[in-house]
Amino acid sequence: MASSAVLFSASLVLCLAAPPAHRTSCLGRQGVAVQVKEIDESRRSPRRSRRSFGVGLASAIGLAAAGRRARAAYDIKPDLAPDSTKYDAQDSDLYEASQLLQKALNADVVTEEERLWTEVISKYSGTDKAWTADVVGRAYGNRGNARARQGKLQAALEDYDTSIAMCPWAVDPVLNRGVALETLGRYEEAIEAYSAVLKAQPNDPAGWNNLGNANMALGQYADAVTFYGKASQLAPEFSFAQANQALAMYAAGDKNGASRKMRALLRRYPDFDDMRAALVASLWSQGLVDNAEQEWLRVADERYNDVNWLRKERRWPQPVVEDMRGFLRK
């Protein structure tokens, strides 16, 4: 069950890669899929999808253990997106900002990435130009992603809130805020965020996948099957949405349908350990112990030996985890 995270700065960098004298004004927003956990690098997390974005005002939430302040309902307004044709392509500050963004995107380690996003924020927050909110907003959202990957979830949520406040047209910081809330186990709040994303962009496969994840975590398996199916229809190449749907079908009691989907995915992706391990659990639960053993020999990722990892990190639904536990204990 992977929630998708998405990078939101590529279009600005690509448009501004050339020196001012050789480029036209062309800054558009584009989400670039990345992954946040370590199972499927095609989406950067098999469970959560995150996108980068960001610019900041004051933080809107606190995460003290004793309590949390509620945030206002999301109100994404795509029609407020800035008109990139108003950006001055000859602006040297804009060119320098784009170079710094590119440097942050190419950082080798996440701590350096976080430092560079902070540099963008510090250097350009005080400017009063048509592109300020867009550039600094991206930096806040991207810094939130970098912080979330380091487990700094409170700081990440604060960055996302700042990004949302400065860029009310953008779905990315709302989606990414949902991912952080999911990680904290605040699934109802995550559902609120994903629902807002889908209200603004009904054809966002990451939003549908993540909505499925949050519902799966709450044991709402039938709803999760529907949401994963929508994500798969919108992005047939999004293999983990299909894998998540198979797990939700299994948890909902449709083991035969789930097994067929698992086998179909394995025909396309023979090295897909997540589905092979899930198939092992399915076969064992049906009493096909020898078949389960044969499939188990083909699972290369040793993490699937660890039920705690499956439950807490990979976040398989409980019925699948229990069947895998039974196989491992045989």
pLDDT of residue 7: 58
Statement: residue 44 has pLDDT above 70: no
Which tokens belong to 104? 């942050």
In the chain, which ranges are E strands?
2-7, 32-33, 47-51
**pLDDT band with cut points at 50, 70 and 90 for residue 33:** very low
265-323 pLDDT, tens digit per residue, is 999 999 999 999 999 999 999 999 999 999 999 999 999 999 999 999 999 999 999 99
Largest CA distance in the chain: 70
Distance CA 55, CA 135 (A): 7
- Cβ-based neighbours of 283, under 8 Å, separated by 6 or more: 259, 289, 291, 292, 295
Distance CA 228, CA 295 (A): 25
Distance CA 197, CA 78 (A): 11
One-letter amino acid of 88 = D
Distance CA 216, CA 239 (A): 17
With tokens 């603004």, the residue in question is: 200
- Cβ-based neighbours of 271, under 8 Å, separated by 6 or more: 300
Q: What is the DSSP letter of 304?
A: G
Distance CA 228, CA 222 (A): 10
pLDDT of residue 302: 96
Statement: residue 186 has pLDDT above 60: yes
- Cβ-based neighbours of 209, under 8 Å, separated by 6 or more: 2, 3, 4, 49, 227, 228, 231, 238, 240, 241, 244
Higher-pLDDT residue of 234, 62: 234
Per-residue pLDDT, averaged over 252-259, amounts to: 96
200-254 pLDDT, tens digit per residue, is 999 999 999 999 999 999 999 999 999 999 999 999 999 999 999 999 999 999 9
270-280 pLDDT, tens digit per residue, is 999 999 999 99
pTM of the model: 0.80
Closest-CA residue to 195 (of 227, 229, 221)? 227
Statement: residue 11 has pLDDT above 70: no
The count of other CB atoms within 10 Å of the CB of residue 249 is: 25
